Amino acid sequence: LAVVVACTAPPPSVATPSPSPEGDVLAVTVLLDLSGPRAAVGTEQRSAMELWRDQRQQTGARPEARLTFIDLAGSEARLLVELRRAAVESRADAVVIGAPVTYTDLLGRAIDLAAMPVLFTLPLDVADPVTRPGGRWAFALAPPLERVAAAAINDATDREALSPALVLARAARPGDRDAAAIADEMGRRGRDPFTEVVLEGATVPPVVRSALSVLRSVHCTATAVACAAVASEARSLGAPTFFYLPYLTTPTEVDDRPDLASRSVWPASRAIIAAEPATAARRRFLADHAQRHGPASSHAAAAFDALALLALAAASGGADDPARSRAAMEGITMPLIATTYSFSSQDHSGSDPEDLAFVQWTAGAVTYALPAIYGTGIPTPTPSPSPSPSPSPSP
């Protein structure tokens, strides 16, 4: 009898995340870098999500959104911990990840175990997460890094600034995903990769200082502080070096650094350009964001869209049914703020490639930055004029 019982007893149960107990509440855990070098990126996204929540509350739309913001502080290890906590302890209905991450198999398995929609608002190092572990739950709202890198190389070619060039990285590879994507793109084109130099703080390495006079461009994937220090050095040397900044650039970072603003462009959603034709919803977002927080970035727009997408999916599938919400997400094709999204069961990289553009900061606004061959490009950077001599020293 003991043998029979042993053979017919059910296998040990495995704990699985339970959906939110409140069917009319959309519980979203948002994982951001709210401290550390990328705090500006996380803070802008949080502000945009709070703006979305406030606008939604004004309309009385359902389901109600309950947002929980978690600071990852740049730790991908903490990301895994917080992802599990969101599923098991917080009983979230969805997760939004707005921090730079490497989409590893380990992360994919964690997403699979969480078993709920996970939206990424920043570029991923995979073309489409649907092809990777956990991909059935993962949705990419921003263009993949390989598309961003290809656009940068194309733009530099059009400006006749492709070479000689350097990559000024924030960390040695493989720690810098943006630098790795640029190297991979050069390899796909049969070109030697650019020399990479790691920037730390606001110190300009001697090798960079000595090269500025001959460099046509630099791809600066480091922090804005580090990139600005090199731009200031280029100005003092009278060097025409052109700067490509990363997708994570925020307008406020450039606004505070005029030497960098005068000679740099960065890839972004064309939707953040005020002069771009826009829907009523996009105009309202840009106006409200500018009034509260200043000009919006691409990732602020994507963070706003992430909640709109989740709310649309929840309205169709039910906030407390992750599988139905995922299926509803896969049926969405519509314009929102950052881009026109189009998802399916085979395509979880939803941004429209046509919405990726290069922008610049000019006269207090984000504007197009097209190469001169298109007729509306920005000029080759020139040294800023020195102040007029004064008969007495400045105080």
User: Do the domain assignments include residue 394?
Assistant: no
Report the domain count for the chain.
Answer: 2
Per-residue pLDDT tens digits for 334-375:
999 999 999 999 999 999 999 999 999 998 899 999 876 654
Q: Say if residue 177 is in the same domain as residue 262.
A: yes
Range of the domain at 184: 146-246+251-269
Whether the per-residue pLDDT at 379 is higher than 80: the answer is: no
Q: Are 74 and 99 in contact (CB under 8 A)?
A: yes
Q: Say if residue 135 is in the same domain as residue 167.
A: no
Q: Say if residue 139 is in the same domain as residue 151.
A: no
- Give exposure, 189-224, as e/b (b: 16+ Cβ within 10 Å): eeeeebebbbbeeeebeeebeebbeebbbbbbbbbb
CATH of the domain at 345: 3.40.50.2300
User: Do the domain assignments include residue 382?
Assistant: no
**Amino acid found at 188:** R
pLDDT (average), residues 86-106: 95
Which pLDDT value is given to residue 37?
86
% of the chain exceeding 70 in pLDDT: 87
User: Do the domain assignments include residue 131?
Assistant: yes
Q: Say if residue 239 is in the same domain as residue 331.
A: no
Which position has the token pair 């700067």? Answer: 243
Q: Say if residue 198 is in the same domain as residue 242.
A: yes
- Band of the pLDDT at 287, cuts 50, 70, 90? very high
User: Do the domain assignments include residue 281?
Assistant: no
Q: Say if residue 33 is in the same domain as residue 123.
A: yes
Q: Say if residue 92 is in the same domain as residue 129.
A: yes
- Band of the pLDDT at 173, cuts 50, 70, 90? low
Higher pLDDT, 59 or 258: 258
**Amino acid found at 278:** A
Total-model pTM: 0.87
User: Do the domain assignments include residue 360?
Assistant: no
Nearest alpha-carbon partner for 228 in 90, 49, 361, 347: 361
pLDDT (average), residues 140-157: 97
Token code pair at residue 190: 């049969």
Per-residue pLDDT tens digits for 302-329:
999 999 999 999 988 776 789 999 999 9
d(CA 145, CA 124): 6
d(CA 173, CA 198): 9
